[in-house]
Amino acid sequence: MKRLIVAAGGGGDAVAAAMLHTALYGDEDQAVILTYAWDRLLVDPVPGPRGPDNFTGLHQLTPAVWTVPADARPIAPAGSTLPRLAAELPHTFALLDPHHGVEGVTRQLEELIDHLSPESIDLLDVGGDILARGDEPTLKSPLADALTLAACCQVNAPVRLLVAGPGLDGELPVADLRALLGSRIHTFTPADVESVSAVLEWHPSEATGMLAATARGVRGTCEVRDAGLPIALTDEGPTVHEVDLDEAVTRNQLARAIMATETLDEVEAHSREICGYSEIDYERNKAAWLKDQPLTDLVPQTVLAQLDEFEAEARRRGVTHTTFRHLTEVLGLNGSQREDLRRLLIGNRPEQYSAPLWQIP
């Protein structure tokens, strides 16, 4: 295990970390990818991140670090993509546990570094919201990135901060990010994506899905999230930039404020104070709302007719692509029906599948 990659925001960042490892370091060695078990509500209906107590079958690597093998299972009603990632990718996925605040994550990092003596440590963020001040009106999910950033700047080892796919998370405008990005160290290619292509067929991450799509040459405008946020798919999409870690911490008000936190509740309190909200509160509210929503039957003829209407409206907005997560919400389906929807659409209109996105003809 020569490389340690910290997936700054969890979820899709962990998939992007595997892609990054292939691109920069090759396939000969495996990486340890330290990542949150924090999935979207369509995967994990329980708001917020999961800790070791939410799983069975974890393996203890150090006193504070547990790995997630393929046969690990989240304890119901929680869900997690990590066991399946462990089954399909050759890397070791270590569970980043934020419940003890930044001090706990820093302790995890220090133990991992002592245990592994890695040749390199990369902190990877897809999109660039790790560079947020905290008061940007478009910012939606600052907490996870600020927490990993704050921890990484406190360990006694060199950590390289990398931002892939500037702007693809829809959190900060690309124009604002350009001045903050350092040198470009890589541009993802279709060959880089092959290492995670099977994962992208089922993983719900929109930002990493668009990162892979742009690496494969897809260009246009992609609608994402429940609100239909438009994301530009450009030549900047597949790029990876190095950013000065100290400058990022100086800029990120939330990261600076939570340095000495010992609980996730403290981190949330600082987020509400600095950013005006906690994204876990948003998940709590949405989870409560979803509980009261009836399950809509997936009737193929009805769905395809609704899809035609959506695509006609999307074309008028200049949209060229969308994600299956967005389509699931637009068509009034439950998150658990996303895979059924995906199979239906690809089976009926395979020419519109621009992996892993859906193309608006």
CA atoms within 13 A on the CB side of 103: 6
pLDDT, tens digit, 9 for 90 and up, residues 208-220: 999 999 999 999 9
∠211-278-338 over CA atoms, to 5°? Answer: 45
Which residues fall within 8 angstroms of residue 235, CB to CB, at 6 or more apart? 214, 219
∠58-64-67 over CA atoms, to 5°? Answer: 30
Average pLDDT score over residue span 105-128: 97
Alpha-carbon distance 17 to 288, whole Å?
32
Alpha-carbon distance 339 to 46, whole Å?
20
Query: Structure tokens of 95?
Result: 């569970």
**Please, are residues 130 and 152 in contact by the beta-carbon 8 Å criterion?**
no
pLDDT, tens digit, 9 for 90 and up, residues 137-168: 999 999 999 999 999 999 999 999 999 999 99
CA proximity to 333, closest of 293, 291, 287: 293
Alpha-carbon distance 247 to 269, whole Å?
24
> Is beta strand 220-224 parallel, antiparallel or unpaired with respect to 229-233?
antiparallel
- Give the DSSP letter string of 237-251: TTEEEEE-HHHHHHH
Alpha-carbon distance 261 to 99, whole Å?
10
Alpha-carbon distance 49 to 205, whole Å?
16
Three-class secondary structure of residue 102 per DSSP? helix
Report the percentage of the chain scoring pLDDT > 70. Answer: 100
The confidence score (pLDDT) of residue 130 equals 98
Q: Is the confidence at residue 28, as pLDDT, over 90?
A: no
Averaged pLDDT score across all residues of the chain: 95
pLDDT band for position 40 (cuts 50, 70, 90)? confident
Alpha-carbon distance 333 to 294, whole Å?
9
E-assigned strands of 141-248?
Answer: 160-164, 184-187, 220-224, 229-233, 239-243
The confidence score (pLDDT) of residue 330 equals 92
Q: Which amino acid is at 150?
A: A
Q: How many residues does the chain have?
A: 361
Q: Is the confidence at residue 1, as pLDDT, over 70?
A: no
Beta bridge partners of 140: none
pLDDT, tens digit, 9 for 90 and up, residues 338-347: 999 999 999 9
pLDDT band for position 226 (cuts 50, 70, 90)? confident
The confidence score (pLDDT) of residue 335 equals 79
Three-class secondary structure of residue 94 per DSSP? strand
Single pTM value for the model: 0.96
The confidence score (pLDDT) of residue 334 equals 82
